[in-house]
Amino acid sequence: MTKKNLFGLTLAELEKEISPLPKFRAKQIAANIYKHGIKNFEAMNDLPKNLRAELSERYEIRIAEVLKRLDSSDGLTKKFLLGLSDGKAVEIVLMNHDYGNSVCISSQVGCQMGCRFCASTLKGLERNLTAAEMLGEIFFAEEFLRGRNQKLDSVVIMGTGEPLMNYDELIKMLRLLHEDYCLGMSYRKITVSTCGIVPAIKKLRDEKIPVTLSISLHAPNDNLRSALMPINFAFDLKNLLAAAEDYAQASGRRVTYEYILLGGVNDTAEHARSLAKILGGQLANVNLIPFNPVAERNFVPPTKASVKKFFHFLNTHGITATVRKEMGADVNAACGQLRAKL
């Protein structure tokens, strides 16, 4: 008989699962799983011995297991391939920034969004990840760091997949991650990145979970954006910008616009001018990402000079912009390079 996995259940779900046992037992189990990282019921010292045995027979506590690890020569970036219970695999990237450790997790196996510059979508969507699997990615990173006397400071959902196409499991995971009995992570330390699923952005606003929203923009007009990102045919720039600004106002959190600089495609002075124009007056930052090469894609990185000019133009025209520090490109761990194999 396969054992049911308790990892990823909320306290309320645990209470229900073990009823008619008293609720305080569920609290103890939750603390053992989430606070103490215990994977084996026998080690739950605060439970009676017979209960531990009973639980071991019926349940297990399982998170994704590491299949492969690649360390970037920068010494700061590590990529892990994690195996899921059905034999599929996803990648996460652990980054050591000067402001702390952050993990970039995947929300789907593969991706159906079809962005022309991205490796994650080359084979289409295989399946959504469950809340438990996403939380497992984060726990893997947290445990890895804890083993090195470090801690996990922030989570970005910017790996493979479109998180807002896996909405319910995403929200369940975010709420669980935030619970005191789990990692108690502040929503401010969490960033959700989307290619622009407008109805889901509106829904997210109403959840009252003030995570940072990051919008993959990449072009300042509809023609170019639709050519780069098919999602723009469904939700155009006007609607996307309105939904993002609405999110910023409701959450009080500045929206980050990600803008990949593709050499000769969207990185000219004219593009910078249009971008500053459409974002003018919005509660927003821009994060410029020089294109990271993907073998199957025909784009080229921007020149250093065009990155500098673009950056300078935005910052002198009322838009706060930063250039994303490239991390882990030597192990294909940089933005847009993730796929389910190493």
Residues between 280 and 319 that touch ligand SAH (CB under 6 A): 289, 291-292, 294
The residues pairing with 92 across neighbouring beta strands, listed in sequence order, are: 80
CA 303-156-6 angle, to 5 degrees, is 150
Q: How far does CA 230 lie from the centroid of its chain?
A: 21
Other CB atoms within a 10 A radius of the CB of residue 143 amount to: 13
14 or 197: CB nearest ligand SAH: 197
* 170 neighbors 134 (Cβ within 8 angstroms): yes
Q: Is 336 in the site for ligand SAH (CB under 6 A)?
A: yes
Q: Which range in 84-92, 129-137, 187-195, 220-228 contacts ligand SAH by CB under 6 A? A: 187-195
Q: Is 77 in the site for ligand SAH (CB under 6 A)?
A: no
Q: How far is the CB of 70 from ligand SAH (least distance, A)?
A: 18
User: Among 72, 77, 216, 251, which residue sits at the site for ligand SAH (rule: CB under 6 A)?
Assistant: 216
- Provide CB contacts within 8 A for 125, sequence distance 6+: 108, 109, 110, 111, 112, 161
Binding-site size for ligand SAH (CB under 6 A) equals 18
251 or 266: CB nearest ligand SAH: 266
* DSSP-based three-state secondary structure for 313: helix
H or E element, residue 134: helix 131-146
DSSP assigned state of 32: I
Q: Is 190 in the site for ligand SAH (CB under 6 A)?
A: no
Q: How far is the CB of 115 from ligand SAH (least distance, A)?
A: 6
335 in active site: yes
Catalytic machinery residues: 91, 335
Interface residues with ligand SAH (CB under 6 A) are: 113, 115, 117-118, 158, 162, 193-195, 216, 258, 260, 289, 291-292, 294, 335-336
